[in-house]
Amino acid sequence: MDSVDLEVLKRSAEWIDDGRRVLLVTVVKTWGSSPRPEGAMLAVREDGLVVGSVSGGCIEDDIVDRTRRDGQKATRCEVVTYGITADEARRFGLPCGGTIQLVLEPLTRESGIRALLREVEAGHLVTRRLELASGFATLHPAQAVDGLTFDGKTLTTIHGPRYRMLVIGASQLSKYLAQIAVGLDYQVTICDPREEYTETWDIPGVKLVRTMPDDTVKAMKLDERCAVVALTHDPKLDDLALMEALKSPAFYVGALGSRANNAKRRERLREFDVSEEEIARLHGPIGLYIASRTPPEIAVSILAEITAIKNGVGQDEILPVAVAKEKHGASVACATS
C-alpha cells in the first residue's frame, strides 16, 4: 500500500515518462481550518486525470478546470490562494472560512520527479528545493525534524519516511498492521527470529529481519519519531526489546496482551531495573476500544492509538482498551486482550 504522497510521485513520474503534461500542486500555507496539511500534494494530467488531494473539496475541481484550460501553455510555477473571502471559502468547501495557499508547478523530465521517487522508494528522507522563477529543483539529504518552508521564491519540501515503526512478531496481525502503517507513511521493520513465521512473509515495502528483537531495537537507534509494537506474546522475544525501547526516545511503545498479562509484563520489567517512569510509558493492552475482533480490526485499533499519540491527542481524550474494559466490565469482548 502506498502513502498518498508516494502515489502522487509515482503517477507523476509515469505520466512524464509517457510524454504527458503534468501539474504538481503543493499546499504551502494554511490559515484557519484546513482539511489538508502543508506539504500535501496533488498531480493533475493535462486531460484532467487526478491523483492526490489538497483540500478534499471544490479546489480540486477548480484546478482541474484550470489545467484543462491552460495546461498545454503553462510553463512557469505559480502561487495561488483560495478562500480569502467568506464567499470563496464556501464556494471551495473550506471549513470555517479557512484559507489555503498552493504552489502550482508544471513538471517536465528535468523536474527530477523520477530521481526523487527513487530516493523515497529506497527509504531515504530527502529535501526537494524548487526555485519558482526558474522551475529548477534539486535534491538534498534531510533530517526527520526538517519541515516545509516557503518564502515566496523557494519551496522546500520533505519526502520519504519521516516516521519508523518496529513490529516484533511476523503474525497475521503484523501483516495487516504493516500494510496500514506503510499507508500512513511509516518505514516499517518486522522483527522475528522464528523461521516458522518468517518463511511465509510476503508484504512488499516492509523490511523483515530475523535478529533478536532487543538487538534490533539497539541497532535501529530509535528516536522520537519511532514506534515499537510487540505482538508475539512471548516474553523471551518481547520483554528485552520492550526494556530497550522504553529507555529510548520512541514516542510509542506498546505490547499486545490482556490486562493480566500486561500486569505480569510490568512486574518482569521491574526485575530488569526498568524505572517506574519508563514502565509508565508502556501501552498495554494496546489500541483504542472499538470492539475489535478480527486481525484487521485490531490493526486499526492499534494504529488509531499510535496516530492519536503521534498527533498529540491527550490520554484523557482517548479511550484505551484497558480503560474500556474497566468501564464496561468483563463482558466486553475485544481481540486485543
33 lies in the same domain as 14: yes
Q: Is 333 domain-assigned? A: no
Q: What letter represents residue 235's amino acid?
A: P
Residue 305 has pLDDT above 50, yes or no: yes
- Boundaries of domain holding 149: 4-159
Percent pLDDT > 70 in the chain is 85
Please report where in the chains the cell 516545509 appears, as a residue: 148
Nearest Cα residue to 282 out of 316, 305, 300: 305
Whether the Cβ atoms of residue 255 and residue 286 lie closer than 8 Å to each other: yes
3-class DSSP state of 288: strand
Band of residue 223 on the pLDDT scale cut at 50, 70, 90: confident
122 lies in the same domain as 258: no
List the CATH number of the domain containing 243: 3.40.50.720
The H or E element that residue 278 is part of is helix 276-279
3-class DSSP state of 266: helix
Distance CA 100, CA 80 (A): 9
3-class DSSP state of 236: helix
Whether the Cβ atoms of residue 88 and residue 100 lie closer than 8 Å to each other: no
197 lies in the same domain as 247: yes
Range list of β-strands (E), 32-74: 41-45, 50-52
Nearest Cα residue to 128 out of 137, 115, 118: 137
Q: Is 334 domain-assigned? A: no
In Å, the largest CA–CA distance within the chain is 70
10 lies in the same domain as 82: yes
The H or E element that residue 197 is part of is helix 195-198
Residue 333 has pLDDT above 60, yes or no: no
Give the tens place of pLDDT for each residue, 104-150.
Answer: 999 999 999 999 999 988 878 899 999 999 999 999 999 877 889 99
Nearest Cα residue to 98 out of 18, 146, 10, 30: 30
Least confident of 129-138, 149-158, 320-329: 320-329
pLDDT at 132: 96
**159, 182, 197: which is the final residue of a domain?**
159
pLDDT at 82: 85
In degrees and rounded to multiples of 5, residue 147 shows phi and psi of -140, 175
Distance CA 274, CA 214 (A): 14
176 lies in the same domain as 309: yes
Least confident of 12-26, 40-54, 95-109, 187-201: 95-109
Nearest Cα residue to 306 out of 257, 252, 258: 252
Q: Provide mean pLDDT across the span 322-335.
A: 53
Residue 172 has pLDDT above 70, yes or no: yes
Distance CA 54, CA 63 (A): 10
Q: Is 123 domain-assigned? A: yes
Give the tens place of pLDDT for each residue, 181-207.
Answer: 988 888 899 999 998 888 878 888 799
pLDDT at 94: 58
pTM higher than the cut 0.75: no
Distance CA 238, CA 254 (A): 10
240 lies in the same domain as 278: yes
Distance CA 260, CA 336 (A): 12
Percent pLDDT > 90 in the chain is 55
38 lies in the same domain as 184: no
Q: Provide mean pLDDT across the span 240-265.
A: 93
Distance CA 33, CA 35 (A): 7
Q: Is 77 domain-assigned? A: yes
Residue 217 has pLDDT above 60, yes or no: yes
**139, 159, 179: which is the final residue of a domain?**
159
58 lies in the same domain as 196: no
270 lies in the same domain as 130: no
123 lies in the same domain as 236: no
66 lies in the same domain as 90: yes
129 lies in the same domain as 101: yes
Q: For residue 189, list its beta bridge partners.
A: 166, 207
Whether the Cβ atoms of residue 204 and residue 26 lie closer than 8 Å to each other: no
Q: Provide mean pLDDT across the span 298-310.
A: 94
Q: Is 315 left (phi over 0), alpha (psi -120 to 50) or beta?
A: alpha
Q: Is 335 domain-assigned? A: no
Q: Is 336 domain-assigned? A: no
Q: What's the domain count of the chain?
A: 2
C-alpha cell at 186: 511509516
Q: Is 270 domain-assigned? A: yes
Q: What is the mean pLDDT of the chain?
A: 86
Q: Is 170 domain-assigned? A: yes
Q: CB count, 10 Å around CB of 202?
A: 8
Integer Rg of the chain from CA: 23
C-alpha cell at 215: 538487538
| Between residues 31 and 331, the one the model is more confident about | 31
Residue 329 has pLDDT above 60, yes or no: no
Band of residue 324 on the pLDDT scale cut at 50, 70, 90: low
Band of residue 73 on the pLDDT scale cut at 50, 70, 90: low
Q: For residue 26, list its beta bridge partners.
A: 41, 103
**110, 129, 159: which is the final residue of a domain?**
159
